[in-house]
Amino acid sequence: MGAFDELRTDVDEYVGAGDFVICAAHWVGRGKGSGLLVDVHQFDLYEFRQGKIVAARLGLDSKQEAMEAAERGS
């Protein structure tokens, strides 16, 4: 987060998959030093235990890839 002057994400969809939640996310930001724009659509996978996030895997290319990762347990 420290590499960005601004960074936000808009989540278009949440999908529950057992102990995991898949987010269809749109990340937008601007690099602090470079000024480069980040504008990416991706799928992020979060693992939950006792109501808390214990692991995250970001930048998956598709919902299918995220579902398969959830089924494998990561």
Digit-coded pLDDT (tens) for 38-72: 999 999 999 999 999 999 999 999 999 999 999 99
Give me the domain span that covers residue 21.
4-72
* C-alpha distance from residue 39 to each of 6, 7, 33, 34, 42 (Å): 12, 10, 17, 15, 10
Tokens of 66: 């995220």
Residue 8, amino acid: R
d(CA 66, CA 34): 31
What confidence tens digit (pLDDT) does each residue in 13-25 have?
A: 999 999 999 999 9
Please identify which residue in the block is written with the tokens 């808009």. 10
What band does 1 get if pLDDT is binned at 50, 70 and 90? Answer: low
The predicted structure's pLDDT at residue 4: 86
Q: CATH number, domain at 62?
A: 3.10.450.50
Please count the structural domains in the chain: 1
Please identify which residue in the block is written with the tokens 């995220």. 66
